[in-house]
Structure 1
Amino acid sequence: MSTTYPQNQMIVVISYLFIIFHNVSPVVSVSDDSSLPYIPQDNIALDCGSSGNSIFDRPIWEGDVNAKVFPSENQNTASIPIKATQPPTQVSSVPYQTARLSRLEFTYTFPVTSGQKFIRLHFYPALYENFDSSKAFFSVKAANYTLLSNFIASLAADALGRQAIVKEFCLNIVSNNKSKLIIAFTPVSSNPDSFAFINGVEVISMPTNLYYSEREEPGAKLVGQLESYRIENSTAMEMVYRINIGGGFISAPEDTGMFRTWEIENDYLTIPGYSVEPLNLTSILTFTNKNPAYTAPRKVYQTARSMGNKDRALIKSYYLTWEFPVDSSFYYLVRLHFCEIQREVNVTGDRVFLIHIANQLAEPGADVIMWAGGKYRPVHNDYVVAMFGKPGQKKLNLTIALQANPQDSKSTYADAILNGVEIFKVSDYAGNLAGPNPDPTRIGAPSSKLHRNDKNGGGKAIISLFSGVVSGVVIITLIALKKSQLRLHRRNY
């Protein structure tokens, strides 16, 4: 298969360099609403424990001190706004510099419109004066759903190797004349030293049926079963992974208006095989009613990972595989994003492959052009998979594996492609999303796992040449970031 993949080392270096520049964003980048595919009706960003308004990755982060959404009554009076003893160094000061903290339950009340919402909870588990966040055991409830239970933010952050974490949820607000969303933070009563804290809260509207099932459609394909699975409005979900496959990190301002972030795949790609990263930034993408422009950023569909341009025997010798650790005893919604961006793949039948999810065959004949109705047309497919382990088992690996078609007559090329992945935990029958606290070890595989070996084409020569290029890029990037910070400083005064 002759492809548009890099054919020599220098082209590889140039392509990677272009991706780096294309994906570099300044520290402060506020979206221009007029250019976004979606403008949320409710767009709340609360900087907890702060008394002022801040600009970071969006127009306004509002402080919760004396804010209407934090009523100064009942047990809320026992809470305190507090500042981290040591400011964060790996994340922004907004909203992680300050927190709302209490040994008693406290609540936020958000006036919102009816409909489906994102709720994002930001945690920076640090020392707050005499309050050690490692002793913070608490639960979080929103509407009638349990989002977190006996939650220890410090364990969650340590397990991911991060200073701060964001827990993102989706739920539906029932329609009435005075819709409101109450989020309650409750310390574990059995531990007298326990307290609850929160650094930031976002409440953002999402397009109707972005992730929820439409009335006239059967729902997502239930992997391993003949029937489908509907994500009803009565369901809540937790976003556990959102990955830009084959591309760079996509920041909140670069999203389509909902301030989602898209991670890189490094920690999750466990069997890269002979795979490559096709890139096409010049072709015009055509969005459709099935996959509107707000579904995912263009960058998701302009980059991808495919199985490579080796001969059929080599491509058939492996499954291109990602592994995602998830909590046991839940169903998961898996959304896969696709777009055919390579020159040779033009018609139905050119690239037909198999998709396995959680070690089960989910698609026996995946044909992106057939699904999308043409080339350069983004499309996504939804699957639901049950992840139930042995009693007492905390985590399971949810695998996504692409397989080249074993029957040569079924596909012109022995290959497969994937552009993006989103994975959501689905609430159980009791409205619960809370899983166990992780063990204090890193969950993801180390990024070094992704370094190609020499037989995959390039190896050491590319790495040594690329490292010098990256050094220059880093210096240039730091200068650009510093300038952007200075511009923001001048704008704020």
Structure 2
Amino acid sequence: MAGTARRPLLVLLLVAGVAAIAESKVYTPEDRVLLNCGSTDGLDADGRRWAADTNDNTWLIDSGKSSLMAGADKMDTALPSTIPYMTARVFTMEAVYNFTVNPRDRHWLRLHFYPSSYNGIAADHFRFSVSTSTGITLLRNFSVYTYAKALSQGYVIREFSLPPTPAGFLTVTFTPEPMGNETYAYVNGIEVISMPDIFADPAIMVGFADQTVDIAGSALQTMYRLNVGGSYIPPSNDSGLTRHWYDDTPYVYGTTQGVVYRAGPHFQIKYPSEIAEYAAPAELYLGTRSMGSDARLNQNYNLTWTMEVDGNFTYVARLHFCELLLNRPNQRSFDIYIDNKTAQADADVIGMTSEKGVPMYRDYAVYVADEPMAAEGEAVWVALHPSVALRPQFYDAILNGLEVFKLNDSAGNLAAPNPEPSRLLAKAELGATDRGAALNSTGEDHTMSKVMGGTAGGAAAVGILAAICVVWYHERKDKEVPASAGGGGGGGSHTSGWLPLYHSHTSGKSSGHLAANLAGMCRHFSFSEIKVATKNFSESLVIGVGGFGKVYRGVVDGDTKVAIKRSNPSSEQGVHEFQTEVEMLSKLRHRHLVSLIGFCEDAGEMILVYDYMEHGTLREHLYMGGKPPLSWRHRLDICIGAARGLHYLHTGAKYTIIHRDVKTTNILVDGDWVAKVSDFGLSKSGPTTVNQTHVSTMVKGSFGYLDPEYFRRQQLTDKSDVYSFGVVLFEVLMARPALDPKLPREQVSLADYALSCQRNGTLPDVIDPAIKDQIAPECLKKFADTAEKCIGEQGIERPSMGDVLWNLEFAMQLQDTFEGGSSCGRRRPDQAEGGGGAGRPALEPSNSNGSTASVTTLATSSGTSRAHDTCVIVEETDDEVANGAAFSQLVRPTGR
């Protein structure tokens, strides 16, 4: 995103900790090699320069003669950057990269993989091993495709920390493994970077008195790196070590997740001499998660994190502490447990550091055996409990950061078997009918679904780069080679990774099993009926084109107008989007949601049949549609209707439903000018248990409307819809696209530009001239304030959709007051501004439990209805998945 209101990602994440971060040193690596394999050099989305590994370089021992340079056949929107993921070096035989390195330093080795087909070689045909000259096996019989698919990841980064190499060189060998008659290996990017010796001290072996584990001489694989009680910290804010630190929330176990605290911007972090400044960024130590202030409650539970790992390896859990509030010993003492064993009793951060603001960490080692019969796979558990023996002033515990590393075994091996495909994914591929139940089971399986993700390239959405990315992506799509690998994404049952979630596109047509699964949900049309309805898909009946395919106007059952959406064979949307749309809309019935009439899956087709929306999309009436502009009142009325639909999704159904693609082209208007939210192909069920705050999933949606917090962290909440709706509100006000690359840089992003204008007091100057003189000043203020809150940088800052709806209704009342009318009702676009006649449709208040009611006006005895005499009767909306509480009441919708 661009604009004066939002600075580049680095600045955004520095705001809270500028003073503290200035206290820590920045490490400058002596060796720093970033290879963009199979391509030329270039900058990634974080501004880091990657060198080409082309034949005239010396990285490949055979100068690349036994390999080929290939481009990915498809681009997934989960990628944080095109570099290094859209190109690869493909090997048909063993190949070696050679790096000259400082023999005294440890080094990060990061291998980047993007699961795609390359030059027509299917994604699932790559299987290989990777080893180093130091005798460490990093990967064995590794399938990026299987790994990413099972763990629902869009791309894979394997990070290793390798001990010093006395020979002064490091080789990385890729060995293809046989797959039938073919052998292929590949890599998209390689990083070799010097690192300070942050693993010099041995780790305490949990459960064995006075035993330690040597870390300094070991190779380690990073499994998890969590900013406890804080948000994502990007590599650019990591004191030169280029690490990703992720939010710990998905790993906190149980319903009681403690309390998060963050020190103020002027709090100073003071590194002691025995703790390297590079152990963790100062920003990590500025936030903490504690148990809370209830001493009785705290004594009855553990503050616990759980992280799935591979069996038969030793792991080191590094716990980071920094006391931010207390300053005397034994004010807060606690016990530390690793895998249900006491790692340290009576830990007292002040007792160990002498003063607040001083960071420290402790390393604990634990061996995790492989238990084939385990229901949920192996995991490392970290738990904290107040020390009862010491009787501290506060029965509490704290933690600031948590890292988990895998150590190589005695044979120099770090490799583990490929994970098993998730149960959810297997169920989806078999065409299970109850996806809602499957999603619920995933939510209950706490550790299965909680693979954490962050976008290292969050800055890819900054400024003009976002617009360029969109244009580049759509141009490339025209040249794409369809991927041979289908499949969909679900939660992984084995989450030993720690990178972004993945949901692969299904490029092929439906396999024919869905019709039986979806039978009974709604009407099943035959393909011949669809052909008759659309006059054999006549181009004259095309009323729109979207990511799914073309939309036709049609007629069924003789006189019923419908909209028919037919999947394009080359569309990036496929079976899962089709099934999601049918399942969602067949269970939801609401005045402000588009109604699904039926579907067709005959002859390999995927077709959806909806109620016909006579007035098309909201965008058509704002710009780019060639239609007369809507009045301000009509725009506000449509916004209120759309807000009601979204509010119902978030609160009125059995589970929260997150739309995930709210935009003006997905808000339709019917013949009576009633706004309806449409297109549920990307929708997700929200958290299904009280201890869940979000759903971890890959980023999907539309650029310009994407919630930046969701983009960075892959954590989806209902506040992601609120952000997108905030962009819609400004789009309605300013009548311009969410992203417009043709505009000056500071105006490319509507969200950033509108926010800047709002805060600078210049918003009235950029309002659509067609409505500028129609808006009541107080109405504009309420509307703009609401939109501004919706696009807050963090989800916690944004209002709920219910609050948004209330504010918009209040804005309408302010408009009514300004015009001298009543707040009970509003005009349709085909009615005169003066009112009279049959009156105006009345407001449709939302009840307290989130359901939205339809409204009918009660006419006076004379057959006419004056606005100020009108009251409304509220009737229960037909909702198959709501709680079912019927209600009926007379209301007079006056101001609150």
Aligned match of 1:106: 95
Counterparts in 2 of 1:449 and 1:58: CA distance versus 1, 3 Å? farther
Q: Which amino acid aligns with 2:91?
A: S
Normalised TM-score (structure 2): 0.46
- Structure 1 or 2: more strand by fraction: 1
Aligned match of 2:287: 303
SS, match of residue 154 in structure 2:
coil
Report the Cα offset of residue 452 of structure 1: 4.8
Counterparts in 2 of 1:296 and 1:93: CA distance versus 1, 3 Å? same
Aligned match of 1:194: 183
Counterparts in 2 of 1:159 and 1:389: CA distance versus 1, 3 Å? same
Q: Give, in whole Å, the separation in 1 of the partners of 2:729 and 2:182.
A: 46
Report the Cα offset of residue 451 of structure 1: 5.4
Aligned match of 1:136: 126
Aligned match of 1:491: none
Counterparts in 2 of 1:105 and 1:465: CA distance versus 1, 3 Å? closer
Q: Tell whether 2:429 aligns with 1:439.
A: no
Q: Give, in whole Å, the separation in 2 of the partners of 1:400 and 1:252.
A: 25
Q: Give, in whole Å, the separation in 2 of the partners of 1:58 and 1:449.
A: 39
Residues 200-279 of structure 1: pairs in structure 2 closer than 5 A: 200-208=189-197, 210-213=198-201, 219-273=202-256, 275-279=258-262
Q: Give, in whole Å, the separation in 2 of the partners of 1:484 and 1:204.
A: 35
SS, match of residue 190 in structure 2:
strand
Report the Cα offset of residue 468 of structure 1: 5.2
Report the Cα offset of residue 249 of structure 1: 0.8
Aligned match of 2:140: 149
Report the Cα offset of residue 309 of structure 1: 1.7
Q: Tell whether 2:287 aligns with 1:294.
A: no
Q: Which runs of 5+ in 1 are unaligned?
A: 1-19, 27-31, 214-218, 455-462, 488-493
Q: Give, in whole Å, the separation in 2 of the partners of 1:470 and 1:355.
A: 42
Report the Cα offset of residue 233 of structure 1: 4.3
Counterparts in 2 of 1:485 and 1:112: CA distance versus 1, 3 Å? farther
Aligned partner (choices 65, 70, 82) of residue 77 of structure 1: 65
* Contact 1:148-1:433 within 8 A present in 2 as well: yes
* Contact 2:230-2:284 within 8 A present in 1 as well: yes
* Contact 2:322-2:358 within 8 A present in 1 as well: yes
Q: Tell whether 2:326 aligns with 1:354.
A: no
* Contact 1:33-1:39 within 8 A present in 2 as well: no
* Contact 1:106-1:185 within 8 A present in 2 as well: yes
The number of residues matched between the two structures is 440
Report the Cα offset of residue 22 of structure 1: 7.7
Q: Cα deviations across residues 429-486 of structure 1 (Å, max 9, x unaligned)? A: 11000011111228643583785599xxxxxxxx99998589659999x98x996998
Q: Cα deviations across residues 161-213 of structure 1 (Å, max 9, x unaligned)? A: 2210100001123224xx111001111136433311101100111112x0233
Q: Which amino acid aligns with 2:408?
A: S
* Contact 2:23-2:268 within 8 A present in 1 as well: no
Residues 121-132 of structure 1: pairs in structure 2 closer than 5 A: 121-132=111-122
Q: Give, in whole Å, the separation in 2 of the partners of 1:410 and 1:315.
A: 13
* Contact 1:272-1:321 within 8 A present in 2 as well: no
Aligned match of 1:88: 76
Aligned match of 2:305: 322
Q: Cα deviations across residues 391-433 of structure 1 (Å, max 9, x unaligned)? A: 68794111111112234x5311011001111111000111000
Q: Tell whether 2:116 aligns with 1:116.
A: no
Q: Give, in whole Å, the separation in 1 of the partners of 2:304 and 2:246.
A: 17
- Structure 1 or 2: more helix by fraction: 2
Identity percentage of aligned residues = 32
Q: Give, in whole Å, the separation in 1 of the partners of 2:251 and 2:184.
A: 34
Report the Cα offset of residue 37 of structure 1: 1.9
Report the Cα offset of residue 57 of structure 1: 2.3
Aligned match of 1:158: 149
* Contact 2:314-2:366 within 8 A present in 1 as well: yes
* Contact 1:23-1:250 within 8 A present in 2 as well: no
Report the Cα offset of residue 54 of structure 1: 2.5
Q: Higher RCO, 1 or 2 (CA under 8 Å, sep at least 6)? A: 1
Q: Which runs of 5+ in 2 are unaligned?
A: 1-8, 16-20, 425-446, 453-686, 694-716, 731-737, 750-896
Report the Cα offset of residue 254 of structure 1: 1.3
Report the Cα offset of residue 236 of structure 1: 0.9
* Contact 2:130-2:172 within 8 A present in 1 as well: yes
Q: Give, in whole Å, the separation in 2 of the partners of 1:77 and 1:327.
A: 36
SS, match of residue 85 in structure 1:
coil
Q: Which amino acid aligns with 1:445?
A: S
Q: Which amino acid aligns with 2:382?
A: I
Aligned match of 1:184: 173
Aligned match of 1:428: 409
Counterparts in 2 of 1:69 and 1:259: CA distance versus 1, 3 Å? farther
Q: Give, in whole Å, the separation in 2 of the partners of 1:484 and 1:242.
A: 35
SS, match of residue 183 in structure 2:
coil
Q: Which amino acid aligns with 1:220?
A: A
* Contact 2:107-2:161 within 8 A present in 1 as well: yes
Q: Give, in whole Å, the separation in 1 of the partners of 2:138 and 2:748.
A: 39
Q: Give, in whole Å, the separation in 1 of the partners of 2:31 and 2:290.
A: 38
Q: Give, in whole Å, the separation in 1 of the partners of 2:727 and 2:11.
A: 12
Q: Give, in whole Å, the separation in 2 of the partners of 1:73 and 1:98.
A: 20
Normalised TM-score (structure 1): 0.81
Q: Give, in whole Å, the separation in 2 of the partners of 1:475 and 1:90.
A: 26
Counterparts in 2 of 1:35 and 1:80: CA distance versus 1, 3 Å? farther
Report the Cα offset of residue 60 of structure 1: 1.4
Q: Cα deviations across residues 346-378 of structure 1 (Å, max 9, x unaligned)? A: 111010011111111111111111222310111
Q: Give, in whole Å, the separation in 2 of the partners of 1:352 and 1:392.
A: 37
